[in-house]
A = this chain, B = another copy of it.
Amino acid sequence: MPAGGVTRTPDQGRSALLTDLYQLTMLKAYWEHGMNETAVFELFVRRLPPNRNFLLAAGLAHALDYLEGLRFEPDELEWLGGQPGFPPAFVDWLADLRFTGDVDAMPEGTVFFPEEPLLRVTAPLPEAQLVETRLISLLNYASLIASKAIRFTLAAPAARLVDFGLRRAHGSEAGLLAARAAHIAGFDGTATVLAGQRWGIPIFGTMAHSFIQAHDSEADAFIRFARAHPDNAVLLIDTYDTEAGASKAVEIASRLRAEGIEIQAVRLDSGDLDAHARRVREILDDGGCRDVRIFVSSSLDEHDVARLAHAPIDGFGVGAALTVSADDPKLDSVYKLQEYAGQPRRKRSEGKATWPGRKQVFRSCERGRLVRDVLGLEDEALSGEAMLVPVARAGARLRADPPLAEIRDRVRASLATLPAELRALEPARPPFPVEPSPGLRELAREVDRRSSGDGIDEGFAAPGTSG
């Protein structure tokens, strides 16, 4: 193997250089001018994707992990020192930089809506600024996938759902985080082995078509697999002909039963799954295999799953539709400065204006149903449950991450509060309203009045309405 030119697979998730260059150029200017006062940034989603009625928070555990571990390594600092614009004194200062701030956030598994802060960082300006890119990256993707995954659980609440999407996820971190986000949202498990090792998520898997093809006879392949995995005997029956495969499964079932092995399920991966499942169910039932379940996969999205809800199907394997959130593959997540040195701030760019100040989401339920979210100021006295809670102080977590089971329970409880139109797969009209509080509106006007001294016109820019 040649020594030079080898491109190492990146171990990128932990690097402080996994950021946008502008974070570092801004830090240089802040450092030069001693701009180290407390900044407040909030992370939120600007708009609901067209096919979503609500969003589900995920990724906080990894975001906190990132903040706690943030530091520049010696080799990174050396490299930075060789780049234009970064003098040695600045690089030395970066070497000591740690995240020492506070974080308030919605717990993982919380339902949220656009404009609502998912996370608030309160820290000296350079620290709060530097972490922008990676915080967005982690919360954006995990929440994107949790928000997609929950649609499958809404489509088929009684079925087993398994994430099959690692191979078509956008890289390794995506595949892994998707397995976790989907499990949070109600998936039973994943095919991704590493997600099982890392987080104890149940893992599922049996055979690919190549296993069948590598044998000269399909029946031999079935028997070999069942003997190798007597407790996980799920047979893939569509490599050549689905119904013929089902008949073979029936034929070998009694032979295997004599050995003490029960076929647990068959998997279908092609063709008209509804029709095949019905015929396969008949073949299995007629052959005395009533306990053999039917599991299907094949580029399924949540609408396919909903359509197949009345077929005799016990579980679904879901791939790219889940792990790339294929219908809406992006969330418009942003991280915006809302206060600096005690002064509320806002951006007024066309169509991208933000609400200033430290905010809180006040959520009201009536008779167990979500009826209203009010976006108010943190210190405003408003009714409703405060959805952002303290999660880190002085750079450290306040408590260990909750177990995934606890997060899954929170999701189930939240789902039960959603009105029917939000639980539907089709877009709710109108979308769920998030009302800005009187205090927030007044603060935005105040900030605009103050800014007008800088030559900015006085018209009030309401987020989400302008541009």
Contact = CB atoms under 8 A, between A and B. Distances in A.
A21 B340 contact: no
Interface string A225-252: 1011101100000111110100000000
A13 to B, nearest CB: 4
Interface in A438-463: 451, 454-457
B239 A32 contact: no
A255 interface: no
A420 interface: no
Interface stretch (A63-71, A362-370, A379-387, A425-433): A63-71
A76 B198 CA distance: 10
A307 interface: no
Given A171-B177, A333-B167, A244 B456 contact: yes
A107 to B, nearest CB: 13
A7 interface: yes
A264 interface: no
A6 B65 contact: yes
A465 interface: no
A347 interface: yes
Interface size class of A (residues with CB under 8 A): 35 or more
Interface in A103-135: 125, 129, 132-134
A203 B173 CA distance: 23
B11 A84 contact: no
Contacts of A51: none
9 contacts: A5-B403, A6-B68, A12-B175, A17-B194, A21-B191, A136-B168, A167-B333, A170-B174, A325-B329
Interface of A: 1-2, 4-15, 17-26, 28-30, 32-33, 35, 39, 41, 61-62, 65-66, 68-69, 76, 79, 83-85, 125, 129, 132-134, 136-138, 140-141, 144, 164, 166-177, 191-194, 196-199, 203-211, 213-214, 216-218, 224-225, 227-229, 231-232, 238-242, 244, 269-272, 299, 320, 324-326, 329-333, 336-337, 340, 345-352, 396-397, 399-403, 451, 454-457, 467
